Every structure is written in C-alpha cells, then in structure tokens.
Amino acid sequence: MTLFHEIEFRVRYQETDGQGRVHHANYPSWFETGRVELLRSIGYSYRELEDAGLLLVVAEMNVKYYWPAVFDDIIRLRTTAMRAKGARIEHKYEVFCGEKLLAEGSSTVACVDRQGRVTRLPKWLQGDATPKSSTEA
C-alpha cells in the first residue's frame, strides 16, 4: 500500500512561538489533519469509522525538524499511507514550504473498538485501499 494525499494551508499566528516560528507541538496536529484528509480523499470519513464503533489511536509518532516555518507561510503537507495490516496503519509525512522540506515524520495508528480493545482494520482500510467511488457503481 502506498497511497498519498497533499493539502496546503497557511501558518496561523497562534501556531508560532516567541521566536516567531511554528512551535514544534503543531506538527503532530497537522499530521492528524493529513490523515483525516487522506481518508476523505479516497471517499471515506473518520466520522464513518467512528459511527461503525472504531477509532484510530496514535501508537507511535516521530518528527524530524530541518527548517522553521513562520507565520503566514504556505505549507504543503504530503501524507502517505505506507502500510496497513492487521490493526495498524503506518503513515509518513513531509512538510514543505515551496520546495524546501521543513520537517518529516512518521506515525503508527492502531484500530480499537469503543472499549479500547485492539481490533482489525475494516477491509476497506486494509492493503490497497480502493477509493469508494470506484467500488460503488
């Protein structure tokens, strides 16, 4: 499975610190937005997953910072689903300003039920996720 999606957004003033740079704690939040939008890009929503009684919880998160982003920068976030198997999905993130790579990261999310028990990913999220529109005729 290698599925990716890109979004663009502008750095908001409240995301910056006293030095005028994006505070490091914002990157995981951006990554979550990337995961939600990646899911939406294949025709599903996180809400549908929750309505089915399933949650994707972060089991691991890593971030490497190379260059700072500042207020009003236009950021491009590329989110890639690298692997989905069993109860886990591994994602890769790349944060760009123009063509400059500012940061990259990775995460593993685990699928759990409402009681917090680990459960297998739904079939449509395993392996090669097929966009909903191509599975519905």
pLDDT at 124: 84
Q: Is 99 exposed, middle or buried (0-12, 13-18, 19+ CB in 10 A)?
A: exposed
pLDDT over threshold 80, residue 58? yes
Residue 131 pLDDT > 80, yes or no? no
**What is the per-residue pLDDT for 136?**
43
Q: Express each pLDDT in 3-56 by its tens digit.
A: 999 999 999 999 999 999 999 999 999 999 999 999 999 998 999 999 999 999
Query: Which domains are assigned to the chain?
Result: 3-127 (3.10.129.10)
Mean pLDDT (whole number) for 101-120: 97
Instruction: Please give the mean pLDDT across all residues of the chain.
Output: 92
| Distance, C-alpha 25 to centroid of its chain | 15
**Is residue 1 pLDDT above 70, yes or no?**
no
